[in-house]
Chain A
Amino acid sequence: MSDHLIEARDLRVSYGGRVVAEVPRLDVGAGECVAIVGESGSGKSTTLLSLLGLTQNAEISGQVRVCGVDVLTASPRALRELRGARAALVMQSPHAALSPATRLGVLMRRALKLHGVRDVDRTMARAMEEVLLDRELLRRYPHEVSGGQAQRFAIALAIALGAEVILADEPTSALDVTVQAEVVGVLRRLRAERDLALLLVSHDLALVSTIADRVLVMKDGAVVESGPAATVLAEPSHPYTRELLEALP
């Protein structure tokens, strides 16, 4: 294996013997964005969650290294140290992803203290600035902020913790078009400024074409095509990829 921040080989995720995702090879380096695309049920979100060991009751085989940690053999403690501090997750539904009875600031403060971050107040303020959010939002509960603000807050959490890798599961699909552009703008800027490795799961090929360097196309749990985004999206070799592109409005 090389020095990629995310490396997976022969990754296979199954539930009760039924294989739901099979990825022979996945690499994401620093400053790189790789997108996994496909329709609902194609196994792309399961693949993403398995990289952090977050699939419950699933059997996972193969090799997975994230930030140098062997996810499949790591101790629970090593996994907890990896999660959040080095590899962060951004989820599809920003409101549902935040505990309803916990103020945003309390969540961020607890996460920073958990990972031993010093100068918590300044770190929180800086992270909020980086995602263009008012610090006042930290006093609010999730239901008191908009979807776009909640999603940018999730990114701010990753920034505050100093994550090197962001795994984003359909980060814009629950947002309206203008807010989608804001969130994508923030992700793109942070990736460039902080050399973040970004693994993006999306069914939105238009979004993928604007941000991804490389693309994996998944169907029924298997990778049917992969390569540079410009090539795969301009000259797809697999009929399923062509179908996805033809379905674009």
Chain B
Amino acid sequence: MLRYLARRLGQALLVVAGVVVLTFAVMRLVPGDPAVAFAGPKATPEQLAAARARFGLDDPLPAQLLTYVRDLLAGDWGVSLRTRQPVRDDLYLAFPASLELVGTALLIAVVLGIPLGVLAARYKTKFPDFGVRVGSMLAVSVPVFWLALALQTIFASNLGWFPIAGEYDSALDTTSPLTLWTNITVVDALITGNWPILTSTLDHLVLPALVVAAYPTGVIAQMTRAALIEESGQDHARLERALGFGETSILTRFALRPALGPVLSLIALVFAYAIVNGFLVEAVFNWPGLGRYAAESIRSLDTPAIAGVTLLVALVYVLANLVVDILQGFVDPRARTR
């Protein structure tokens, strides 16, 4: 298992190196001159030259890349041209809220998607299967902003069951101020026992998390169904039937573990997708996450911030894949030998 982990970690580091080079390329490919964006449209040629010198824009590209890598390793992700703050600090403020939203959404997607996939596989071609397939097709195909607006209108505006927007009731900042540890509100509220903020955040999370969860739930249910149907047609399922096990038992006790391999890979894939998809949901629900920061950075051609967001999302994707690889080693012992 240790060798398996070391191999996967080595592969992840290689991917990270590739991501860093790509992020650097993104910075150079974004239209517009970063020096102009920093110094302003009315800057004098001297001010522009100073800005170019400050960001090393006159150096040859390989030298710029080396400087970029060296700075990243030293924890310097550059300075935002818009906020004039270190990009890393900006991301540290914005990313935890996105992680909170997407993490909750993926939890919902896994908890709902896998059992729904099992149900569909167990009753293949019967009514429950039909229901799950139609439901997951709708969840996958409905545009996320439409779903966000629809849920907001029905459950927040009309029925009043959930708050309409925001991360928690802002009045609580005065009555029950939250001590920050991780910047993830739910986690910090749990750690410090701040129940008013915790319940308010969970209340605010329901609608946006359900919207972000829709697509992953649909694809996880579909993939679980397909992988289980394939597993239940394998020779081992025939032997299990010959041993007297029933179909539900075969699916849940023997077929599910090997079938989880492709499902786990899919979860890593939809995790990164959900972060980016979440940007739109954050806009609709006024969720203080990475989406707003990314949108404003793109609008103002803030290349260090755009590169920072790109690198962060890519790193999260690599990390999610690494976690999935490790989990695969546990759910399917054959994976450790690959």
Contacts and interface: CB of A to CB of B under 8 A. Distances in A.
B331 to A, nearest CB: 7
Contacts of B253: 102, 110
Q: Interface extent on B, as a size class?
A: 20 to 34
Contacts of B239: 89, 91, 97-98, 154
Q: Interface extent on A, as a size class?
A: 20 to 34
A100 B242 contact: no
Given A101-B257, A101-B333, A84 B236 contact: no
A102 B244 contact: no
A82 to B, nearest CB: 8
Interface string B246-274: 10010001110110000000000000000
Interface in A194-242: none
Given A102-B254, A110-B253, A83 B244 contact: yes
Interface centre among B234, B240, B257 (most CB of A within 10 A): B240
A81 B244 contact: yes
B244 A89 contact: no
B228 to A, nearest CB: 13
B204 to A, nearest CB: 40
B175 interface: no
B255 A84 contact: no
B88 to A, nearest CB: 41
A98 B241 contact: no
B238 to A, nearest CB: 6
Given A91-B235, A93-B235, A114-B245, A99 B240 contact: yes
Contacts of B235: 91, 93, 96-97
B332 interface: yes
B337 interface: yes
A157 interface: yes
A179 B240 CA distance: 24
A33 interface: no
Interface in A6-42: none
A159 interface: no
Contacts, number: 79
A52 interface: yes
B290 to A, nearest CB: 37
A80 B240 CA distance: 10
A165 to B, nearest CB: 11
Contacts of B255: 99
B243 interface: yes
A30 to B, nearest CB: 20
Nearest to B238: A54
A88 interface: yes
Interface centre among A91, A101, A143 (most CB of B within 10 A): A101
Contacts of A82: 244
A115 interface: yes
Interface centre among A49, A91, A98, A99 (most CB of B within 10 A): A99
Interface centre among B242, B257, B334 (most CB of A within 10 A): B242
Contact of B242 (A76, A81, A84): A84
Interface in B294-338: 331-334, 337
A83 B243 contact: yes
Contact of A96 (B234, B240, B333): B234
Contacts of B249: 114
Given A141-B333, A143-B337, A98 B243 contact: no
Contact of A99 (B236, B241, B246, B337): B236
Interface in B121-172: none
Contacts of B240: 99
Contacts of B241: 54, 83
A156 interface: no
A85 interface: yes
A58 interface: no
A100 B238 contact: no
Nearest to B250: A99
A190 interface: no
Given A101-B331, A101-B333, A143-B337, A96 B236 contact: yes
A69 interface: no
Given A54-B238, A91-B235, A154-B239, A85 B244 contact: yes
Given A49-B238, A80-B244, 5 more contacts: A54-B241, A84-B244, A99-B257, A100-B236, A114-B244
The 9 A-B pairs with the shortest beta carbon distances in the complex, nearest first, are A89-B242, A101-B257, A84-B243, A84-B244, A96-B235, A99-B254, A83-B244, A80-B244, A99-B236
